[in-house]
Each structure stands twice: as C-alpha cells, then as structure tokens.
C-alpha cells in the first residue's frame, strides 16, 4: 500500500460533522470562499441551523452566533468604518419566519444597516425535523405554503433583493454575493438562496424511484465521478466542497505519487463538485453519468453500440502502445 502523504494529511482534515451529501447549503459557502479570494475576509454573522456547519472544515466561515433567526440582528453591530466591507449575515428559512423577518430584516430596514443577508431557503424548517413553513413549495392540506421570502422582505422595505433558484450554480452564487457586497446602493441587501434540503428530497424521491423500478418503469438517476487520468491530485475540489462522497484513492499512474480524488457510491448526483471545479477554474476531471433502470430497446441497443466502439478503440490503443514498447 502507498504511504500516507504528509502534505495531504496536513491540509485535508479528518471528516468532522458537517453538511449531508448533496446539501444545497454547501455551494453557498464554496461561493463565499471564492468571493473572499477577491474581496478579502468577511465578517460573517452566523445563525442556528444546518448552515452553522460552515464554521467547521473545510470552510471555516462564521465569526459570531447569537441565536435562532438572529443572524441579521447580530450583523447590525458590525459596521467596519472605512474598510469598505459589509458584514454578511446567514439565516435559514426556518429562522427567518421564526423571528428573523422582524428582529433582523425589519430592524435592518429601519436602521438602514449596510449589510448583506443570505437566507438559505431549503424548503423546510430542516434543522428541527423538516417541517413545512410559509415558504415551503410543498402542498399542505392544513397549512398555507408557497409564500416567497423575497416578497416578504420587499414588503418590509428591502429595496435590493435577489432570489437564486438553484444554489448549486456556484458561479451565479459567487456573482450575486459579489454584487451585493460591492453595489453602491445603501441599506440592507438580501439574497434568497433556494434549493430543496437533500435529506428531505431523498426521503421523498427514493421510495418513488424504488416503486417505479420494481414495476418495470424507466428510472433515471445521475452520478458523478472523477477521471483518475486527468485528476492532478491537488484536491482543491475537496477543500472548496467538503462533500462526504469525495474521498481519495491511490494514483493508478505508477509515475505519479499524488493520490487522486474519488467519488464513492453515496453520491446523489447534485453536481456540486463539478460546479465548484468550473467556478473556481480548477480542472476538467469531473464527469457525469446517467444511470438508467429498465431502459428501453433503443437505449439498450445504443449502449451496446457505444460499448463495441469504445472496446474497439481501446484495443487499437493497446496495440499501438505494445508496438512502441518494441
């Protein structure tokens, strides 16, 4: 077996408690790390909820925490005079409806705090068990849902507000956060970052997919992987993502010592790793595969044809390598 690489062991921490595989909150902090590369360190007023895992490796983002729904209220105390930087507040959708709309957003409007609030809208009060709340997109027979958070903050008086409907778009998250931090408009800025809680999503769709597959219906799921021949072994993807499905394996190339990144079978196909790689201009080694259960006759025929062509090309490549060896 390969000896442990000291440099890697020193820079990639052992897996602490953290975001679930595929969590839509992880790319928000990847985007924030990319913005901090450009603008320097930010003061981040954290909040109670899943997003508080951002204070742990690999993100190390979050300076203060007051209480549930108090991220924006806490940020109001931080006005870095002359630095040109705005304090950033984190808040979950559960905390927002609990008291953040009044204690945080309302007071920020009243006091015209020049802060940036990111409301993580994952569709549920996820940190307390996944209950529906006002902004949930789920149908609920005994509750009223589908009330947009951006509409609520604008009703409170916020003039600069953006809703991003897919947090996994790291480049768009980065650009929105940079704009909020640099716009000349004064007063509170609010970014609503939407994507469904992956834990609740998997609880919802896995039984549906299993039932469909057992009935012989066509079921499609996506998986991501890393091309070991292309991976450079710098593991920036792990440092900017921290996804539990990302791990390392010995490099298959005997002439290269750095272990390569590997994506294990816990991957849920959220695409965050590839999005981070492209947003940070890291590497082209991520690939996406579509796994089809109960494929149709055309898909089976196409798969056999692709397999035959690939095998033929591989045999030709192997013969060319053998000829060069002699």
CA 184/CA 301 separation, integer angstroms: 58
Give DSSP secondary structure letters for 128-168. Answer: GT-B--TT--S--SSS-----HHHHHHHHT--EEEEES-TT
CATH of the domain at 302: 3.30.70
Give the containing element (helix H, strand E) for 248: strand 246-249
What's the whole-model pTM score? Answer: 0.81
Residue of 111, 201, 202, 117 whose CA lies nearest to 152 = 117
In a domain, 11, yes or no: no
Strand partners for 288 = 224
CA 243/CA 320 separation, integer angstroms: 39
The SS3 call for residue 97 is helix
In a domain, 1, yes or no: no
Residue 89: phi and psi, rounded to 5, are -115, 140
Q: How many domains is the chain built from?
A: 2
92 with 58, same domain? Answer: yes
CATH of the domain at 110: 3.40.50.970
User: pLDDT tens per residue, the chain (326 residues)?
Assistant: 555 667 766 666 566 678 888 999 999 999 999 999 999 999 999 999 889 999 988 889 999 999 899 999 999 988 765 567 899 999 999 999 999 999 999 999 999 999 999 999 999 988 788 889 999 988 888 999 999 999 999 999 999 999 999 999 999 999 999 999 999 999 999 999 999 999 889 888 899 989 999 999 999 888 888 888 888 887 877 777 778 888 888 888 888 888 888 888 888 888 787 677 666 666 778 888 888 899 989 989 998 999 999 999 988 888 887 777 65
Give the containing element (helix H, strand E) for 291: strand 286-293
């Amino acid at each position: 077996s390969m000896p442990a690489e000291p440099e890697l062991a020193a820079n990639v921490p052992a897996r602490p408690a953290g975001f679930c595989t595929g969590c839509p909150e992880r790319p928000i902090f990847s985007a924030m790390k990319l913005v901090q590369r450009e603008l320097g360190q930010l003061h981040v007023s954290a909040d109670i909820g899943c997003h508080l895992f951002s204070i742990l490796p690999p993100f190390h983002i979050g300076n203060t925490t007051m209480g549930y729904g108090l991220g924006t209220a806490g940020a109001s105390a931080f006005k870095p005079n002359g630095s040109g930087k705005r304090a950033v507040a984190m808040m979950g959708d559960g905390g927002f409806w609990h008291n953040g709309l009044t204690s945080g957003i309302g007071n920020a409007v009243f006091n015209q705090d020049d802060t940036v609030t990111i409301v993580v809208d994952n569709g549920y009060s996820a940190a307390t068990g996944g209950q529906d709340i006002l902004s949930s997109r789920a149908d609920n027979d005994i509750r009223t849902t589908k009330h947009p958070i951006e509409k609520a903050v604008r009703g409170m008086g916020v003039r600069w507000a953006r809703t991003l409907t897919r947090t996994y778009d790291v480049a768009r998250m980065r650009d929105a956060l940079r704009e909020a931090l640099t716009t000349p408009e004064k007063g509170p800025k609010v970014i609503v970052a939407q994507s469904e809680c992956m834990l609740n999503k998997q609880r919802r769709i896995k039984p549906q997919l299993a039932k469909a597959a057992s009935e012989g219906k066509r079921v499609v799921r996506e998986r991501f992987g890393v091309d070991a021949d292309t991976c450079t072994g710098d593991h920036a993807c792990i440092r900017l993502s921290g996804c539990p499905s990302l791990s390392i394996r010995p490099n298959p190339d005997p002439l290269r010592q750095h272990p390569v990144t590997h994506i294990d079978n816990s991957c849920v196909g959220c695409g965050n790793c590839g999005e981070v790689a492209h947003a940070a201009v890291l590497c082209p080694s991520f690939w996406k595969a579509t796994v089809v259960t109960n494929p149709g006759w055309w898909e089976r025929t196409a798969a056999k044809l692709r397999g035959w062509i690939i095998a033929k090309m591989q045999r030709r490549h192997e013969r060319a390598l053998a000829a060069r060896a002699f």
